[in-house]
Amino acid sequence: MRIAEVMPTPKEMELSEEQVVLVDRSWRVIDDSGLLDVGSKFAETFCIGMNDETNEIALRRDDGLGREEYSLEIAPGRITVVASHRPGYLHALATIDHLRDGPMLPVGTVRDWPRLPVRGLQLMVEKIYQLDEAQITSLMRSAARHKLNALLIEFGDRFPFEGEHAAVASPSALTRPQLRRIVDEARDLGLEIIPLVQCIGHLEWLLQHDEYADVREEDEARAQFCPSNERSVTVWAELTEQVLDFIGPCERLHVGGDETRQLGACPKCAARVAEAGKGRLYADHVNRVCEWLDARGIAPIIWDDILCAHPETMDHLHEAAQVMYWDYWTTQHPSPLLVARGSDAGAVVYDERWDTEWAGELPEITRRTLDRFARPARLDRDLGEAYLSVYRDCLGEQFPKFVPAVPYIEHYQARGRVVYGAPTCSGNHSFWHTLPDLQRHVENIKTFADRCVEAGAEGMITLAWYNRSPELLHLGIVATAEFTW
């Protein structure tokens, strides 16, 4: 059987070692898909027409197939593509593109479908080298070519805000014509745009402006909305409305909500924390944001770290809120590393016996990650009663030596939450031969994807926060595609 480097790897593929077909001007496209533009995309890719030529690329429809499933048969004189929806045909076309050697295609069959419904990459337009239109377009095309179907885009001050909030738009903000071309191409490529508009923290780009001094939680970091100030939600809603009006209908929107380190800093918030706790202060604010989105038929997504550190938040969180669970350090399943936010032992920990009696049992990448990011503790006694009372059932039968990789997926699901995994292809500083730690990133992506599939998560979005060369994100695309498809 021929070896073909199709990425992501198809579920079923049999190719002839020797027999090939030449797709030249003697071919035509016969389109029975019932879709407006699918036939023309195949014709354009092969530079052929849809007239009365001898050989056929036949697009057939089978409504019994899944939305992104397709089958492909390549034979002398005829290539047959079968799918039920537009994404399936586009994925088949991507596979053909990978298989092509110039105008030649190997004879054979492919049958293929994804492991997870939502598969995507984060584009941090706000920071990463001030991504321009060409770079964003290149990344989108790469994502589609590798069968991803979602982009989590955080614009920050690079969205072309207008009207009352025009002053917060950066001088390097994308223009409206640029952004229109980006949005239109993403949709044409079959990529869902999930906007991320921070609702409480990581708002330095906004709160540095004096016009928003009244909604700052404090006046030093200037990074966080005051959750006790009603205008905080008003400002967020006005910014979000502009984003939604421009992008158009959205199934879901990410509201951020991570790393709210200044919670309770202002006197009014401090009093609320003393009365009801940080989790309740946080939930009351986020719930107003969730209500605003839910009323518009948009699912709100929230980062999980505050929910993990303050588990009582879950008791008060709006029922529509979905959870995006991030962890950049776990590189194997089961894992010696535990992200234990809110525990007495620390946020990222491992059992101290990995330094003594269990030393030498771990792969190099995992051992290196423990040494760089985690602290040793005696996990069976140091995590604390409060943490263990909530999470002990998540930690598995091999605890404290190992825990299930990313152990809270089922915890959030059991509380009725839709869950997305969130590993990273550019997060936390560690290095490999002076490069970013590509080995750790790939293992983190693979481990997270496998666990998301095992637990039946809704999907996985690979994150990219750091201001590194945008070209590095293509590795994140390929790794995410390989392990989620």
Q: Are residues 331 and 468 in the same domain?
A: yes
Please report, for the domain that includes residue 95, its CATH number. 3.30.379.10
- Pseudo-torsion of CA 397, 116, 437, 375, nearest 10°? -30
Residues 161 and 37 in one domain: no
Q: Per the domain annotation, does 105 fall within a domain? A: yes
Cis peptide before 114 (omega within 30 of 0): no
pLDDT value of position 327: 98
Relative orientation angle of helices 176-188 and 133-145, to the nearest 10 degrees: 10
Residue 387 inside a domain? The answer is yes
Boundary of a domain, candidates 112, 146, 168:
112
Residues 103 and 168 placed together within one structural domain of the fold? no
Separation in Å, CA 333 to CA 39, 128, 374, 396: 43, 31, 17, 12
pTM summary value: 0.96
In a domain, 127, yes or no: yes
The domain boundary residue, chosen from 94, 112, 130: 112
Q: Examine the domain organization and report whether 32 and 173 are in the same domain.
A: no
Last residue of a domain, one of 81, 112, 143: 112
Residue 366 shares a structural domain with residue 468: yes
| Domain identity same for 273 and 357 | yes
Same domain, 192 and 128: yes
Instruction: Please report whether residue 6 resides in a domain.
Output: no
pLDDT of residue 2: 63
Mean pLDDT per block of 10 residues along the chain (485 residues) reads: 82 95 96 96 94 94 98 98 98 97 95 98 86 96 98 97 96 96 98 98 96 95 95 98 96 96 91 92 97 98 97 96 98 98 97 97 98 98 98 98 98 98 94 95 98 98 92 96 98
pLDDT at 260: 92
DSSP conformational letter for 196 = B
342 shares its domain with 458: yes
Rounded distance, CA 113 to CA 483, Å?
12
Domain that holds residue 142: 118-198+233-484
Residue 214 domain-assigned (yes or no): no
* Same domain for 127 and 79: no
Task: Report the CATH number at residue 338.
Answer: 3.20.20.80
Structural domains of the chain, count: 2
Q: Are residues 148 and 38 in the same domain?
A: no
Task: Answer yes or no: do 186 and 305 share one domain.
Answer: yes
The answer to whether position 211 is within a domain reads no
Residues 180 and 152 occupy one common structural domain? yes
**Phi then psi dihedrals of residue 337, to 5 deg:** -95, 140
Q: Are 250 and 195 in contact (CB under 8 A)?
A: yes
* Residue 216 maps to a domain: no
Closest CA relative to residue 384, chosen from 343, 337, 341? 343
User: Is residue 210 domain-resident?
Assistant: no
